[in-house]
Structure 1
Amino acid sequence: MIFVVSKCNDCPFHQVIDGKRKCKVASVVYQQIPDEEKKRPEWCPLRKEQMIVRDKKM
């Protein structure tokens, strides 16, 4: 499965917890994403990297 992501809202690792936007793959787990960010924040690990997401079938 391939995700092409240009902003946090499209990212499969973006979550909203208690009304706050959080990132599951940041170096600080569940780091809060600033609301003013329209694109990915500078600290986003996916800015310069790629991540493969596999659907594990049992």
Structure 2
Amino acid sequence: MLIDDLTALGQKMREARKGKSLTQQELSDLSHVSVKQIAKIEKGQMNPSFLILKALVLITS
């Protein structure tokens, strides 16, 4: 993924999380993805694996 794509993905993930009124900690607890990884994804600093992305999408969609 290009950096712009990672930034866009992070913004969409943050919007989806906030749309469900979840904190990063709550999303972490529900998805079993670390808070640190969620923060990095939302900042566009991490390219999540398919399994991580799937876990986050199932909770936020």
Name whichever structure is richer in helix by fraction.
Answer: 2
Normalising by structure 2, we get a TM-score of 0.28
Instruction: Tell which has more relative contact order, 1 or 2 (C-alpha 8 A, sep 6+).
Output: 2
Normalising by structure 1, we get a TM-score of 0.28
Name whichever structure is richer in strand by fraction.
Answer: 1
Instruction: Mark the structure with the bigger radius of gyration.
Output: 1
